[in-house]
Structure 1
Amino acid sequence: MTLASHARRLLIAAAAPLLGLAPAFAQSPPATNTLRIGVIGPLTGGSADFGQVMLHGVQLAADEINAVGGYLGRKIELVQKDDQGDNDIGLKVSQELVKENVMATIGFCNTGVAAKSLDVFQKNHIPLIIPCATGTPLTARYPAKESYIFRNSPRDLIQAPFVVDDLLRRGLTKVALFADTTGYGEAGMNDVIKALAAKNLKPVYVARFPIGVKDLSEDMRAARAAGADVIFAYTVGPENAVIARSRESVGWRVPHVGPWTLSFPNFIKAAGKAADGALMSQTFIAEPSNERRAAFLAAYDKHYKTPHIPVPMAAAQAYDATYLLLYALFNIGTGEINGPAVKTALEHIDRPYYGVVTTYDRPFSPDDKDAITRNMLVMGVVKNGGVTYAYPSDARSSGIIQRKQ
């Protein structure tokens, strides 16, 4: 048995006591009814590179859970919906999930798409765990105690100041802020401005642009004239590539930094050499730094026949979200599984889940629906067409798991 396969067995075995399954029970026929869980994201369109990976993370976890008997003998059934990265389509398929009687949903990669659909889940009392979208307002829309919206991706409220602190560490203080005009870009821009203000700084130049923009050379020239020594971008992969190519076209060599979207392959591939050196916040870098991560990477490789995960954060966070939901269900036990019961159970997960991204020790509460805290972040850098640790010290300490603060 290889180390990777042994690690994967350990990962599944770690879930078995929680499942309450002896090996013999794991072989017994499952109950005829299933647990229907919605999965919603951009499975096609411009954001499909991380939407598909999110789905893969959920599917991998569900398959592992079903392989050891499911939840008390009930298999997980995933009800998949493609929002195509479109706000209106996202709303439509969210309404479809309600009609299809899902007991909870995992999903959304685009902040704007999620924002338009939140009311569907809140009003119908269907818990939603967001494993990808990071816009700060998503988990702040409703009073915390009443909210059915949970998240285990790092909200921009912690990503922005984390990256700003890294800029100061590098001696960079004159920020040109580039943000798209979507809800994601708007919210992220505001978080960056707040983070800079906390350091008595403000952007020396601000550029706004629509999704689909093809050239930002004029803004690059203006930002350079304003004295900027770094570009902080809040947008998605294709537009980040436009920023990188436009910067290169005017011969301007300054760092390109931002949130996790700078790790997307549709940025790295489209920008080519101009992507090299881009810096971004990350919760998970696809390196086998501990046994759990090695197990996850090996399992993903075996399941999807690829050693390369296009957006590792999306896969790992979606995988962890699925197990967090399972852990919550065991707080319900043999009671009725409905939206309010699942919400309460998520708020009171009483045993740690040893996940891929982190050890989730009481990840949620009635007053806090965000599982990820700033101490879990590291800086990544684009190098040789992939993403690795920006600092050797982070790589060396990556086996040390940071718990929620």
Structure 2
Amino acid sequence: MTNTHTNSLRSVLLQGLRFNRYIAHAAVALLFCTAALAQQAVTTLPPPPALKLGLIGPMTGGSADFGETMRNGVELALDEINAVGGYLGRRIELVIKDDKADPAVGKKMSEELVNGDKVFATIGFCNTGVAIASIPIFQAAKSPLLVPCAAGSPVTKVVPPAESYVFRVSPSEEIKAPFLVGQILERGLTKVAIFADETPYGQSGQADVERALSARGIKPVYTAKFPLGVQSLVPQMEQARAAGANVIVAYTVGPENAVIAKSRAAAKWQVPIAGPWTLSFPNFLKAAGPDAEGTLMVQTFIAQPTNERRAAFLAAYRRKFGSRLPVPMAGAQAYDATYLLVFALFSIKNGNLDGPSIKASLENQQRVFYGVVSTYDKPFSVQSKDAVTPNMLVMGQVKGGVVVFANPEDARRSLFVQRKQ
């Protein structure tokens, strides 16, 4: 090839390279221009309005331990949900109300949520009496209420199930009481003294225990009813001992559980104390101190990483809040309740998020949610508003100031998350 031909070819190649470089630069410029225009459009368009979710519970006072943990469980779930787009690009924001564990306050705050704040649904209530006083507000407004804590049997019975807008992700005392009775009888504790406060929770719990005992052909040997704020129950302890009791079943919320344990110690009477999940609360464990040791209580969730889901939940909670869960059941059940509600939103085909549509979706869940407490496969129906069934219950026990599995078989069984039966 001559030098002339070589130079001509080189010239053509160089022109081609310059042309390609020009095209490349133009393409890059166009890309950045398009991105800038897109960014400008994004920044100038208003974000879609957030969805308002109500949250109500005792954020202050004697029941604040589980009210705050309930709130933390909901916030943790919403952080995760909003991080991946919320509901179709709309953030879900909390409107938080403190019911102070007072029925009158709870009723007023409920009215504010459904009538003033216009929330699409509410998660809440830790105290049975507060829930019962407020349920008519949600029913009248046809506004769904998911209850992650309040466990008194009447909560899902105030309204017939088919009409009810109340859904519970907490074990009813109606199933906990028979489980508890079975556990204490297995331990040979057949002479039962019941100590119950005078609130709807305490009295409905006492009735549930009495029914469970009656089904076994047993009557309590002693019952004591006391007001909230009681400072000593030593005389009642002496009466229970004289009646031959060999176990105390405690049904109350707050520091009164510690009064029961301290009064038993003051009476120099060494019999076991057993009861519902309220005996796992910090206001009992801290106030009772060493007198809480050995106490038995019914649980759905014990804060141990027994499987991958629970380990991930416990780690996420610690990362966000910098501590362990004060009341593990409250946090786990509230976390699950939040996801169940959001799953229900995605199952509404026409995007109509009114109360009746959400109610119908909750009653006909099409998605399985792999939660912390349970694997929720159709947790609710028209005739069933309680998501937790007896197979999900385990027995906890205070050892070294913390709640652990009381039964080795429960620890082994917790490797597999249970489903509703």
Q: Which letter does structure 2 place at the counterpart of 1:377? A: L
Q: Which amino acid letter does the alignment assign opposite residue 170 of structure 2?
A: S
Tell me which residue corresponds to 1:219.
236
Q: In the alignment, is the contact (CA less than 8 A) between 1:31 and 1:75 conserved in 2?
A: no
Deviation of the 1:235 alpha carbon:
0.4
Query: Does residue 368 of structure 1 match 2:387?
Result: no
Cα 1:54–1:114 shift into 2, 3 Å: same
Q: How many residues align structurally?
A: 377
- Provide the residue aligned with 2:121 in structure 1: 104
Q: Does 1:232 align with 2:241?
A: no
- What CA RMSD, in Å, does the superposition of the two structures yield over aligned residues? 1.1
Aligned-residue identity in percent: 62
Listed as ranges, the gaps of 5+ residues in structure 2 are 1-41
Q: What residue in structure 2 maps to residue 7 of structure 1?
A: none
- Residue identity in the other structure for 1:292: R
Counterpart amino acid of residue 60 in structure 2? T
CA contact (8 A) 2:57 2:125 kept: yes
Instruction: Deviation per CA, 1:348-403: give whole Å up to 9, x if none.
Output: 11121000001011000000000000000000001111100001221122111111
Residue 305 (structure 1) shift: 1.2
Q: Secondary structure at the match of 2:167?
A: strand
- Provide the secondary structure at the position in 2 that maps to 1:351: coil
CA–CA separation in structure 1 for the residues paired with 2:220 and 2:85: 54
The Cα offsets for residues 120-152 of structure 1, whole Å up to 9 and x where unpaired, read as: 001100000000000000101111111001100
TM-score by length of 2: 0.88
Secondary structure of 2:345 counterpart: helix
TM-score by length of 1: 0.92
Q: Distance in 1 between matches of 2:292 and 2:175?
A: 24
Structure 1, unmatched stretches of 5+, are 1-27
**1:352 aligned to 2:368?**
yes
What is aligned with 1:21?
none
Matched letter for residue 389 of structure 1: F
Matched, 1:382 2:398: yes
SS at match of 1:144: coil
SS where residue 81 of structure 1 aligns?
strand
| Counterpart-to-counterpart distance in 1, 2:413 and 2:394 | 10
| 8 Å CA contact retained: 2:132, 2:158 | no
Q: Give, in whole Å, the separation in 2 of the partners of 1:74 and 1:348.
A: 23
Task: After TM superposition, give the deviation of residue 35 of structure 1 in Å.
Answer: 1.3
Q: Secondary structure at the match of 2:75?
A: helix
**Aligned pairs for 1:178-327 within 5 A:** 178-306=195-323, 308-327=324-343
C-alpha distance in 1 between matches for 2:351 and 2:124:
25
Point out 4+ residue stretches in structure 1 off by more than 3 angstroms: 28-31
Q: What residue in structure 1 maps to residue 111 of structure 2?
A: 95
Q: Distance in 1 between matches of 2:57 and 2:74?
A: 11
Mean alpha-carbon deviation: is it higher for 131-140 or for 388-397? Answer: 388-397
Query: Secondary structure at 1:72's aligned position in 2?
Result: coil
Whether 1:148 and 2:161 are equivalent positions in the alignment is no
1:239-259 per-position Cα deviation (integer Å, ceiling 9, x unaligned): 110000000011101010000
**Structure 2 residue identity aligned to 1:89:** V
Aligned pairs for 1:24-173 within 5 A: 31-98=47-114, 99-173=116-190
2:105 counterpart letter in structure 1: I
